[in-house]
Amino acid sequence: MVIGISIALILASCLMILLVLLHKGKGGGLSDMFGGGFSSNFGGSSVVERNLDRLTIITGAVWFVCIIALGLLLRP
């Protein structure tokens, strides 16, 4: 059980790093390659940015649950 949660934590951590790097910063980001920069200049967020936000929040929640589960399982 601990090994499975540890693997899920590693995968969630790597995915979280990738998703955060894809977000658009003040000077633009990698999300510009997918059309994020063009649509955001004309008002609200683009569909790509909203989906990226949702995926980042879900990944963060999975990461948090894995951390809590490992803490409870490895508690002496």
Percent of the chain whose pLDDT exceeds 90: 58
Q: Please provide the DSSP assignment of 33-71 as one string.
A: GGTHHHHHTTSS--HHHHHHHHHHHHHHHHHHHHHHHHH
- Digit-coded pLDDT (tens) for 27-56: 555 655 665 554 445 445 688 888 999 999
Residue 12 has pLDDT above 70, yes or no: yes
CA atoms of 34 and 44, how far apart (whole Å): 16
- Classify residue 30 by its DSSP letter: G
Secondary element (H or E) of residue 8: helix 2-22
Q: What is the pLDDT of residue 43?
A: 46
> What CA–CA distances, in Å, run from 69 to 1, 4, 8, 9?
10, 11, 11, 10
